[in-house]
Amino acid sequence: MLLAGFWFAFLALPISGPWNAVLIGGACSFMLLAIKLFQTAMTTGPAGEMVARLWCALGRMWGQAAWLVGDRKKILVMILLLLSLPWVLDRYTTDVLVVTGIYVMLALGLNVVVGFAGLLDLGYVAFYAVGAYTYALLNSWMDLSFWPALLAGGALSMAFGVLLGIPVLRLRGDYLAIVTLGFGEIIRLVLNNWDNLTNGPNGILSIDRPTIGGMRLYQPMHFFYLVVFLCFMTMFVVGRLNRSRLGRAWSALREDETAAECMGINITYTKLTAFAFGAAWAGIGGVVFAAKQTFVSPESFTFFESVIILCMVVLGGMGSIPGVILGALVLTVLPEALRELTLYRPMLLGGAMVLMMILRPQGFLQMHGQRLPASAVLPGDVRRGREKTHLGGDT
């Protein structure tokens, strides 16, 4: 700790002069010490008990939330409530919800790669950019309308996913993270510098809005319904993929690649499908983003976006679909709620992440449940076993 303090003091020396450097070093040491003390206090003793109790209470609350979607009737009511939101909320809030919806799709997509298959991807925003530019370019050249572009954006992102997947097949962990990070930056730099194609940093203007049967979608409310529909589709597809033979293969790959290969799993195919099915949602999200903004530029697809999406997945709970949705909600709604404190927002977010990783590294919700198409597939005794061992919600 002291060492870290000295180091920071040394780093700050040329910028701030000797006295301030000592101050900064001292502050760093103190903060590290405080974090350490805080961590011990929060995991042991009465404070630890309180934290544990808090999580229990939150778990119970989540259990009750799960009750809200317990059967078909309740699910229907919840969906109707969700769909009535834009009638109750103002335009601004609805717009925030649209952005949230796009992030939910992105986070669910990244969750396939990171959460299910365990492949750390730090350049995920590249696929988002591919989707957005697919629509922007095809629309400005060929007047391609929104709906075919949605398919094209998804398909092209999938292709890019495979393209990224092939060179990184042999890489794991840190190495994989670095290559994907590079990939994300390459895509952004190409968009930024290929002036003839992408109009460089100026971006592409006046992209068409989507239409349904002659009606133009331009209100936040319209986009809200579009995004809600796409989110449900993402949840549906990603959930079904997870609870299938392929989902089990992804999970096995995440747990132990060699053992998975010795179980007859084709590693190449399994990794490439994970990249492809992860990237597709970013592409579709990108098309929606371009249509909503009517403007795209490389600025929207920075490394920071990748980091935020990854934070949503990690904060929510890797591999858990409800968890990841919750993570995306928290990380888009919270910054909006903190708009008053503009300057302190990144600091508060960073602090929240640090606290979260210290106190609950597994994220809000943990994944569990059998990766099978439906509980109906299981013989009775297994279902009982599952109830006994897995309390709370479902993956």
Instruction: State the minimum distance, in angstroms, from the CB of residue 277 to another protein.
Output: 7
Cβ proximity of 85 and 224 under 8 Å: yes
Nearer to another protein, 9 or 318 (CB): 318
73 counts as binding another protein under rule CB under 8 A: no
* The only residue of 46, 258, 340, 342 in contact with another protein, by rule CB under 8 A: 258
Instruction: State the minimum distance, in angstroms, from the CB of residue 246 to another protein.
Output: 5
Q: How far apart are CA 305 and CA 298, in angstroms?
A: 12
* The only residue of 174, 264, 340, 391 in contact with another protein, by rule CB under 8 A: 264
Instruction: State the minimum distance, in angstroms, from the CB of residue 201 to another protein.
Output: 38
Tell me which residues in 225-244 interact with another protein (CB under 8 A): 237, 240-241, 243-244
Residue with tokens 């778990």: 59
CA distances from 305 to 62, 282, 300, 310, 316 (A): 28, 12, 8, 9, 16
272 counts as binding another protein under rule CB under 8 A: no
169 counts as binding another protein under rule CB under 8 A: no
Which residue type is seen at 384? R
Instruction: Name the token pair of 87.
Output: 């009638």
388 counts as binding another protein under rule CB under 8 A: yes
Nearer to another protein, 18 or 373 (CB): 373
Nearer to another protein, 360 or 386 (CB): 386
Q: How far apart are CA 91 and CA 357, in angstroms?
A: 35
* The only residue of 40, 266, 341, 354 in contact with another protein, by rule CB under 8 A: 266
259 counts as binding another protein under rule CB under 8 A: yes
Residues forming a β-bridge with 8: none
Helix (H) or strand (E) holding 215: strand 215-216
Cβ proximity of 122 and 306 under 8 Å: yes
Instruction: State the minimum distance, in angstroms, from the CB of residue 380 to another protein.
Output: 10
Instruction: State the minimum distance, in angstroms, from the CB of residue 322 to another protein.
Output: 17
Q: How far apart are CA 298 and CA 190, in angstroms?
A: 9
Residue with tokens 């995920």: 124
**Burial, 39: exposed, middle or buried (Cβ in 10 Å; 0-12, 13-18, 19+)?**
middle
Tell me which residues in 337-376 interact with another protein (CB under 8 A): 367-368, 370-374
383 counts as binding another protein under rule CB under 8 A: yes
159 counts as binding another protein under rule CB under 8 A: no
DSSP label at 117?
S
Cβ density class 175-191: b for 16+ within 10 Å, e for less? ebbebbbebbbebbeeb
* The only residue of 8, 277, 289, 364 in contact with another protein, by rule CB under 8 A: 277
312 counts as binding another protein under rule CB under 8 A: no
In degrees, rounded to 5, the angle at the alpha carbon of residue 218 between the alpha carbons of residues 212 and 221 is 90
Q: Among residues 311, 356, 314, which one has the least CA distance to residue 42?
A: 356
Instruction: State the minimum distance, in angstroms, from the CB of residue 113 to another protein.
Output: 14
Nearer to another protein, 181 or 367 (CB): 367
* The only residue of 273, 297, 300, 395 in contact with another protein, by rule CB under 8 A: 273
Instruction: State the minimum distance, in angstroms, from the CB of residue 357 to another protein.
Output: 19
Q: How many residues does the chain have?
A: 395
Q: How far apart are CA 311 and CA 332, in angstroms?
A: 11
Query: How many chain residues bind another protein (CB under 8 A)?
Result: 47
Instruction: Name the token pair of 251.
Output: 């999970």
- Report the SS3 class of residue 28: helix
Instruction: State the minimum distance, in angstroms, from the CB of residue 271 to another protein.
Output: 13
Q: How far apart are CA 372 and CA 308, in angstroms?
A: 31
Instruction: State the minimum distance, in angstroms, from the CB of residue 240 to another protein.
Output: 5
Nearer to another protein, 350 or 385 (CB): 385
Instruction: State the minimum distance, in angstroms, from the CB of residue 96 to another protein.
Output: 31
* The only residue of 28, 260, 290, 312 in contact with another protein, by rule CB under 8 A: 260
State the residues that interact with another protein by CB under 8 A.
237, 240-241, 243-249, 251-252, 254-256, 258-267, 273, 277, 367-368, 370-374, 377-379, 381-390
